[in-house]
A and B are shown apart, each in its own frame.
Chain A
């Protein structure tokens, strides 16, 4: 169908543009920061590099949530846990890189272990002085947790709000666990005072720029992977599970496997985002596991528009830029603004900024084409498009209270 091809090519061009933009950012921003003198009008200050680098990590996190929520209907309120686990894996590597330069000068034990009178390195810290192992763990730990958790949850058909609540309980339990000093992850203070990453000073401008570039490339890669997944046959299956899980199951698909794959891939992406985030902000602590953090990720995705690929990125950038501005200009009003955003987006912008923009454009095009050729107004594609947006606004049948599933 013409409309579908148009639609598809439009989406593809948009994704291609996003990837190109991200790659361009990865090259130009470090250049503008390092090569230009601070007086130059085009110079990008270092704090800006760090700030936007952080946002890009958040955007990757939001994108990972979009894969499960927007395309598969699994509202995870525990994605912050995967992010934090990736961050901790990276943080452990960075801790080991400190070596004997810590306050206590112990070549093997991080400062907090010396402080807590630990005699030797716990077994799960072995090998974290090697970057390759840390990098593997960044992917493996969140992925494994998501796989095991998802395997249990999806197999016994825990869905909807139940799943949301137990993912929230999961991140809450992890937060409590990481707050404990006996866990060997620095307790309350977490991991901080990093010095080097792969031999380069974490504080140096060049390293920061490199991390920025890495975040941008990782995000571009994330966009590429998610768009490929969504465009594939498996992606259709994902959307089928989202819109009518029972029907998909009766058609012979294993809905739990479909979900499990998406959940695991998404957790891996979140872990990578966390690993890139930690060296840029210089600290990881158990607060990252807080349930409130995970819900904030949901609102980034919702603001940008779930079920679109660039939506979560736009949402993460917008909300975080807003947060940075609010917390410095009107710190008392930030929670009002955030709370209002939650309500306004769910009530008035169920498709998010990007979704609303698409809808408006589609509507305008329909009006224009209706004016030019009235007989074409009822093109099937547009009806389908409108029906889809209507449906995602009310995914479950009638607008009435339902006894919780």
Chain B
């Protein structure tokens, strides 16, 4: 008997359940069918709001179709359908179930039209619809949408959602959305004060905009609270702005450092003006391109390692070209810096044209390995992995180079030749070889800089030209013949550039930096970290 009762219960429950959902469907159906009669945008808007009030998951599909212009009414029987496909005949989908419901000629259908203000309404109501979603990311997105378009009417829905919410981060966002809505509502002042506190804690530009708008119309204690919150957000934003500029500056500085550090060796240590330095960077970038292509076709599973494979290859290719340039051209021109400048400019033209002939004049695509794509957030600061890796890479290259020059026998020879060539030669150092290898080293470093720069710049035959003037500026600014000067020069130029950009714009900022460097050279013709003593006049 008990069993019977139980099964009856179950049957009833199932029955009632289906009836209930049928009732919802009927309700929804009734609303949807109103689209046929809606002749103007306000009428459609009313239907949209009605749909939203049902809080039915199916309503979402209908609204999405409406935004996309895919909701149509069949002229013969005034039934609304979601259409799919293109051409004269389109597929009809039932708006409630989403199942196929036959086909129709396009001419037999009348599209339900939307305009921009309607789209905005739909987006807003979708927010409250998706608050009930099972996916926390969708709920969070809904909260954010509602935050941006505060509407007192949604406070009730938000209250319910906040009570239901279990994920703390989503809950916080929901509360922020409620706070933004509370500011524009008729709620008592106490609630508004709470809202101001929540928005002040959020502390980003959007909260600032909401509070500023509120502050303009508020008075008394509310105005004071809003002003305090605005000031708080202002200082917070100023700090994160500064942090952002510093980070972008460090990022730009690391790029400059990579491009300039090879030059610091050839120009700074050897005194050779290598105008083809930028082309060495380009050669490195193209080596990466070739390696990636080979890896893609031969061993796709190694793609994430392609940069690691490209590094030594790019170094070797660029160093070999550098060695050839030194042995073939530059060694005949020692002591004639202006002629060296012209001859290496000629080399750069030839290398550019050679690359253009081999690879074509257009940009080549070099892919990011998975560990270099994407990014993460630190407070208000977005940091992308590729930028971070390039900063780390640049510092590593710098450290290795510094070690090489200061702590290896070969570096010792190199410094000896720089300081006093004749004496070094008398001590049995083969100075021509030291010259050649130093030049090859500088070129090779430019090559591996090209590997890194291929990740963030267009790989084209003009890649190098964009860097050559900047690199010279870094070396000249930092002081010739001093690697530390190059490091400081690169990062300070990068940061100065990025701090000027918001005020002056990117191009004007760059011009200002160039002018500043030109003026700086007048003051300190030998850069920040000048060599002292006899070596200067040699």
Chain B positions within 8 Å of A335 at CB level: 349-350, 352-353, 356
Smallest CB separation, B440 vs chain A (Å): 14
A180 to B340, CA, bound (A): 34
> Which of B334, B473, B476 sits near A400, CB closer than 8 Å?
B334
Cβ of B271 < 8 Å from any Cβ of A?
yes
Cβ of A203 < 8 Å from any Cβ of B?
no
Binds B, one of A25-33, A37-45, A156-164, A265-273: A156-164
Within 148-174 of A, Cβ neighbours of B (below 8 Å) are at: 149, 152-153, 155-158, 160-162, 164-166, 168-170, 172-173
A291 to B267, CA, bound (A): 19
Chain B positions within 8 Å of A299 at CB level: 342
- Pair B350/A394 contact, Cβ less than 8 Å: no
Chain B CB count within 10 A is highest, among A153, A292, A405, for: A405
- Pair B418/A160 contact, Cβ less than 8 Å: no
Binds B, one of A276-284, A343-351, A365-373, A375-383: A343-351
A160 to B341, CA, bound (A): 11
Quick one: given A347-B333, A401-B271, A402-B271, are A161 and B338 in contact (CB under 8 Å)?
yes
- Pair B347/A160 contact, Cβ less than 8 Å: no
Quick one: given A169-B469, A397-B335, are A162 and B271 in contact (CB under 8 Å)?
no
Cβ of A399 < 8 Å from any Cβ of B?
yes
- Pair B337/A160 contact, Cβ less than 8 Å: yes
- Pair B348/A339 contact, Cβ less than 8 Å: yes
Smallest CB separation, B362 vs chain A (Å): 15
Chain B positions within 8 Å of A164 at CB level: 273, 338, 341
By beta carbon, the residue of chain A nearest B465 is: A292
- Pair B337/A404 contact, Cβ less than 8 Å: yes
A5 to B271, CA, bound (A): 40
- Pair B329/A343 contact, Cβ less than 8 Å: yes
- Pair B335/A295 contact, Cβ less than 8 Å: no
Smallest CB separation, B264 vs chain A (Å): 11
Smallest CB separation, A357 vs chain B (Å): 20
Cβ of A177 < 8 Å from any Cβ of B?
yes
- Pair A399/B508 contact, Cβ less than 8 Å: no
- Pair A169/B518 contact, Cβ less than 8 Å: yes
Chain B binding surface SS class: helix
> Which of B268, B332, B333, B522 sits near A404, CB closer than 8 Å?
B268
Cβ of A252 < 8 Å from any Cβ of B?
no
> Which of A173, A341, A401, A403 sits near B346, CB closer than 8 Å?
A341
Cβ of B243 < 8 Å from any Cβ of A?
no
Quick one: given A170-B518, A347-B329, A403-B481, are A157 and B347 in contact (CB under 8 Å)?
no
Smallest CB separation, B146 vs chain A (Å): 38
Smallest CB separation, B341 vs chain A (Å): 6
How many positions in chain A have a CB within 8 Å of any CB in the partner chain?
Answer: 56
- Pair A173/B472 contact, Cβ less than 8 Å: no
Produce 1/0 per residue, A119-154, CB < 8 A to B: 000000000000000000000000000000100110
Chain A positions within 8 Å of B531 at CB level: 403
> Which of A339, A396, A399 sits near B347, CB closer than 8 Å?
A339
> Which of B336, B341, B352, B535 sits near A394, CB closer than 8 Å?
B336
- Pair B271/A403 contact, Cβ less than 8 Å: yes
Quick one: given A160-B338, A340-B346, A401-B271, are A346 and B333 in contact (CB under 8 Å)?
yes
- Pair B521/A395 contact, Cβ less than 8 Å: no
Cβ of A179 < 8 Å from any Cβ of B?
yes
Within 273-332 of A, Cβ neighbours of B (below 8 Å) are at: 291-292, 295, 298-299, 302, 332
> Which of B271, B517, B525 sits near A169, CB closer than 8 Å?
B517
By beta carbon, the residue of chain A nearest B330 is: A401
Chain A positions within 8 Å of B515 at CB level: 173
Cβ of A75 < 8 Å from any Cβ of B?
yes
- Pair A399/B334 contact, Cβ less than 8 Å: yes
A347 to B431, CA, bound (A): 21
Quick one: given A176-B511, A347-B332, are A404 and B271 in contact (CB under 8 Å)?
yes
> Which of B273, B357, B435, B521 sits near A158, CB closer than 8 Å?
B521
Cβ of A342 < 8 Å from any Cβ of B?
yes
- Pair A339/B270 contact, Cβ less than 8 Å: no
By beta carbon, the residue of chain A nearest B349 is: A339
Chain A positions within 8 Å of B356 at CB level: 332, 335
Cβ of A210 < 8 Å from any Cβ of B?
no
Cβ of B65 < 8 Å from any Cβ of A?
no
Cβ of A398 < 8 Å from any Cβ of B?
yes
- Pair A179/B507 contact, Cβ less than 8 Å: yes
Chain B positions within 8 Å of A292 at CB level: 465
Cβ of B257 < 8 Å from any Cβ of A?
no
By beta carbon, the residue of chain B nearest A299 is: B342
- Pair A298/B342 contact, Cβ less than 8 Å: yes
> Which of A157, A168, A295 sits near B525, CB closer than 8 Å?
A157
A88 to B74, CA, bound (A): 65
Smallest CB separation, A342 vs chain B (Å): 3
Cβ of A336 < 8 Å from any Cβ of B?
yes
Chain B positions within 8 Å of A180 at CB level: 507-508
By beta carbon, the residue of chain A nearest B269 is: A403
- Pair B346/A158 contact, Cβ less than 8 Å: no
Chain A positions within 8 Å of B334 at CB level: 399-402
- Pair B353/A152 contact, Cβ less than 8 Å: no
Within 254-271 of B, Cβ neighbours of A (below 8 Å) are at: 267-271
Chain A positions within 8 Å of B480 at CB level: 403-404
> Which of A158, A176, A298, A302 sits near B522, CB closer than 8 Å?
A158
- Pair A177/B335 contact, Cβ less than 8 Å: no
- Pair B523/A342 contact, Cβ less than 8 Å: no
A340 to B354, CA, bound (A): 12
A299 to B345, CA, bound (A): 10
Cβ of B538 < 8 Å from any Cβ of A?
yes
Counting from the closest, the 8 A-B pairs by CB-CB distance are A342-B346, A339-B349, A339-B350, A335-B353, A173-B514, A404-B271, A339-B346, A346-B343
A-B contact pairs, 9 of them (CB 8 A): A153-B522, A177-B507, A335-B352, A347-B333, A399-B336, A401-B271, A402-B271, A403-B536, A403-B538
**Partner-B contacts on A (CB < 8 A):** 75, 149, 152-153, 155-158, 160-162, 164-166, 168-170, 172-173, 176-177, 179-180, 291-292, 295, 298-299, 302, 332-336, 338-343, 345-347, 350, 394-405
Please name 7 further chain A to chain B contacts, defined as beta carbons within 8 Å, in addition to the given A343-B329, A343-B343, sorted by A numbering: A339-B348, A342-B346, A342-B349, A343-B347, A345-B342, A401-B435, A404-B337
